[in-house]
Chains A and B, each alone.
Chain A
Amino acid sequence: MDLLEPTRQAFALLFSGDPELWQIIWLSLWVSVAAIALIAAPSIALGFLLAKKRFPGQRAAVVLVQALLSFPTVVIGLAIYLLLSRRGPFGSFELLFTPWAIMIGYMMIALPILVVFTISAVQGADPRVYETARCLGADRLAASLTTLWEVRFGILAAVVNGFGRAISEVGCAIMVGGNIAGLTRNIPTAIALETTKGDFAQGIALGFVLMLVALGVNVLLALLQGEGGLR
């Protein structure tokens, strides 16, 4: 297969400002960013509690969240589909096959990643952090926030990973979004569709954007970490 011609067409599409292509890119970006922005704080808080608090069933809760990490995303998509479908408990909101449904799916996919990374970061924190904060007069909330700040590079890695997983997700996005052109078609669902149709140019162009986004967020993470990330 000649790869040179579709690649040339892909870059032509990108740089010509093809509205359909850029609409797909924009949808992917805003839905992923919004999903992570909404789910990050509660997930980090949950991860912190699961790492620090001792309560009956804590271990089972951690195992459950870890299990969610390896859940097939189509199953998560199916669950959300059933909840949002007309006959489902949230059917009256008419969210199915809208970007909002994809956002909910992304949130559910990112949640276990954020929680598990946060648990790992907080459990890896020096136990003196919380104690020092308390000894210096911080209340429990302030000491907890200080602990999270001290493991901020681990938390940032959680957010970046959650975002990366969301923006590249196909199965769930197709199930609850329907891959509708101009409405719910995003980068990974468009790549899957166009490739099956033999339109490699758009697939390559979108794949290039996806890789650029992945590279961009990881470079940003490295810059934020600075020397501290290597400590």
Chain B
Amino acid sequence: MSAPLVVLRGVRKGFGQRLLFAIGSLAIEAGCAYVLLGPNGSGKTTLMRILAGLDRDADGSLEFRGAPASFALYPERLRRAIVYVHQHPYLFHTSLRHNLEYGLKRRGIPAGERARRVEEAIAWAGLTERRTTPPGKLSGGEKQRAALARARALEPELLLLDEPTSNLDREGRAQTLALLAQLLAERRTVVVACHDQEVIDLPGFARLRLDEGRITLQSG
């Protein structure tokens, strides 16, 4: 059996005197999808932000493909491998196409390949008609789909999605659910923090529960 994609060890995070969570060990296997469950305030978003290198003030360490790394000195190469999508994704004030191109440019992907991936991502998200639309004119559901497409186009090794269906209307939620189901079908390594029962019930998710400072992998 190959080594896990990511292993967290001894991760402790607190705010002041209050301990939010203490994770002895957690392995994220490549090609597996996880839904991260837990009550509000249990630290789901914080854990995702630690994994993404956005919160570097946590004790413990992580291994990525067997290579150790610290949270405080989060390696730049991990930023290319792990992509986090906010609960309320931010789209830059340019066109949709430029938004999708942003991370590809940062990775030095050649223009031709960039254009191909952008077009493919726009079609995947069903936003072909909105290619040149400024983000301010997109609906909440379209923004969420655009953010998913932007992250997927980067072909990250680990995709972290924070409450991707929250605050969406029925139509936006259904479209986002369909994209999530596709991500699962594509065998992407993904962790989705979520309360939405329809997302939780998607076939293929392993369930992680973060509650009272502990994380457990649940069967079923």
Contact = CB atoms under 8 A, between A and B. Distances in A.
Contact of A135 (B83, B93, B134, B136): B83
Interface stretch (B27-35, B99-107, B170-178, B201-209): B99-107
Interface residues of A, number: 19
Contacts of B93: 150, 228, 231
Given A129-B92, A150-B93, A136 B154 contact: yes
Given A137-B103, A137-B107, A137-B154, A132 B89 contact: yes
A227 B102 CA distance: 22
Given A131-B54, A231-B136, A137 B79 contact: yes
Contacts, number: 54
Q: Which 3 A-B pairs have the closest CB atoms?
A: A136-B103, A128-B90, A137-B106
Contacts of B71: none
B106 A136 contact: yes
A139 B75 CA distance: 11
A138 B54 contact: no
Interface string B119-147: 00000000000000010100000000000
Interface of A: 126, 128-129, 131-139, 142, 146, 149-150, 227-228, 231
Interface of B: 52-54, 76, 79-80, 83-86, 88-90, 92-93, 102-103, 106-107, 134, 136, 150-151, 154
Nearest to A136: B103
B92 A146 contact: yes
Contacts of B84: 135
